Chains A and B, each alone.
Chain A
Amino acid sequence: MVALVIAEHDNAALKGVTLNTVTAASQCGGEVHVLVAGAGCGAVAEQAAKIAGVSKVLVADAPHFADGLAENVAEQILAVAGAYSHILAPASAFGKNVLPRVAAKLDVAQISEITKVDSPDTFERPIYAGNAIATVQSTDNVKVITVRGTGFDAAAAEGGSAAVENVSAVADSGKSSFVGRELAKSDRPELTGAKIVVSGGRGMGSGENFKLLEPLADKLGAAMGASRAAVDAGYVPNDWQVGQTGKIVAPTLYIAVGISGAIQHLAGMKDSKTIVAINKDPEAPIFSVADYGIVGDLFEVVPALVKELG
């Protein structure tokens, strides 16, 4: 049994969630290989080779892998799939986009967003926005899996010395092309990997008012997030959304400001180690999952909190 992990990267560096996926792969019972499909991605392959527990890195380097187009990456995975019992990718926008294509072509089910490996063919995954946990067993000969990063510790980024092997790149599908990308520029940590997250909800009242949270995030070195209500209201960009259909986060500290706590939002953050809620409504559902709650006007509490942190 050998598991193949599909590396997520930007051709310059490996994305952290790949490390969590390696941990899930190693729990599937055999060796772990990593596939890096990219353009000029040698540095990523070197990084992947150093991950503890990885025994081989396959590199497919071609211009048409530069932007992670699903059609091309899926074909490349299929080209090497024959040797593997398990194929895993992070349950990120990248992995969710690519991997079902691989499963369909192999004529196997995909097991999405696993949070636990019970045995090499049995996995746990949340359903109904995390309101139930299903334990599912796959009867297929190849298990195709996306991995929820928050369910697994990150494998050590250093310590391994895997062999790096070049594989021939599949041809460009020619059916899709990359037009452009607008990524938010931020000095803050990435939302899904951050140790501390400060999130705002509809209670913030406006996009302008989100500035109030910045000093708090600065002081704590936190990433910033939001509820769906705040995103729908146009206060902040879409990619800030934490919840069932947005980002799933599990930081050591999650501070929810002016968030009432709809089940869809709780689905995205209730695995956080410590949750703090600041809300003027003492009956808000967010308090039912918060370790520490402050009932009060966020426009007074947040500045006071910044001051208290010193």
Chain B
Amino acid sequence: MKVLVPVKRVVDYNVKVRVKSDGSGVDIANVKMSMNPFDEIAMEEATRLKEAGKVTEVVAVTCGVTQAQETLRTAMAIGADRGVLVETTPEIEPLAVAKVLKALADKEQPQLIILGKQAIDDDSNQTGQMLAALLGWPQATFASKVVLEDGKVTVTREVDGGLETVALSLPAIVTTDLRLNEPRYVTLPNIMKAKKKPLETVKPEDLGVDVAPRLKTIKVAEPAKRSAGIKVPDVATLVQKLRTEAKVI
């Protein structure tokens, strides 16, 4: 069984981004870029399924600029057998990504596609669900446990107020939540091995996909700043302030 794992190159989660002064976007020049953390979890899960003998091949795919090859190399260092870069502008929208992935899935015929539930740059949380709809496949989003057996996948999902379990026929889509697994540290030997793995580059046109944006970003602004308040010396002062000043209790 083949598994496809789409990954995204994003601003590293430790970087505090700055809004450009002309309001056109966020300044990502010269900031550290990494694999989206949820995609790392997806990559780890696919690798574990392969190590458990349930999966024969893991293919990592990304949409983005040439440098996104680095993200694919990281994916291959975790455990992907090969990588596919679909060269696009960095601002590609989730719907366009889903269309690109559908075209690749039609070609590669995976039985399972595991994606991160959201990218930490645009926080959209759409691609997996959109891909499932375009392919006509069932989906299990926000996964905290994935069991692949007997031609189906049983997934425990994180939902508001607790957990929910669904069973899907294959092929299927799974999107990962934070606590599905803890991604391994990538070792130097594996990074070296990853350099030798096949990496293919294609363009959306080659796949017959229109990636034109549907949304126009009018502006990007700093959020309203919250100013620091005061430190109070003791709980008596705190309670008094909450009652008479803030009037919240």
Q: Which residues of A contact B (CB under 8 A)?
A: 67, 69-71, 74, 92-94, 96-105, 107-113, 122, 126-140, 173-184, 190, 192, 196, 220, 228, 231-232, 237-239, 244-245, 247, 252-253, 263-264, 270, 273-276, 282, 287-295, 301, 304-305, 307-309
Contacts and interface: CB of A to CB of B under 8 A. Distances in A.
Contact of B165 (A94, A139, A181, A239): A181
B186 to A, nearest CB: 20
B215 A132 contact: no
A179 B167 contact: yes
Contacts of A220: 249
Given A99-B129, A132-B19, 7 more contacts: A70-B129, A100-B128, A133-B222, A136-B216, A245-B177, A307-B235, A309-B249
Interface string B76-87: 000000000000
Size bracket of the B interface: 35 or more
Nearest to A124: B221
A239 B179 CA distance: 11
Nearest to A128: B17
B178 A228 contact: yes
Contacts of A132: 17, 19, 26, 220-223
B166 interface: yes
Contacts of A129: 120, 123
Given A104-B133, A140-B214, A292-B232, A305 B123 contact: no
Consensus secondary structure, chain A interface: mixed
Interface string B5-37: 000000101001101000000100000000000
A100 B215 contact: no
24 contacts: A100-B129, A103-B95, A105-B134, A110-B126, A112-B123, A128-B11, A132-B19, A133-B220, A135-B221, A136-B217, A136-B218, A137-B218, A138-B214, A139-B216, A176-B169, A182-B164, A190-B160, A252-B248, A282-B231, A290-B228, A290-B229, A291-B230, A292-B230, A294-B232
Contact of A137 (B159, B166, B215): B215
B246 interface: yes
Nearest to A135: B218
Interface of B: 11, 13, 16-17, 19, 26, 38, 93-95, 98, 117-118, 120-134, 137-142, 144, 154, 157-169, 172, 177-179, 213-223, 226, 228-232, 234-236, 238-239, 241-242, 246, 248-249
Nearest to B233: A294
B160 A126 contact: no
A91 B202 CA distance: 34
B235 A238 contact: no
Contacts of B246: 253, 273-274, 291-292
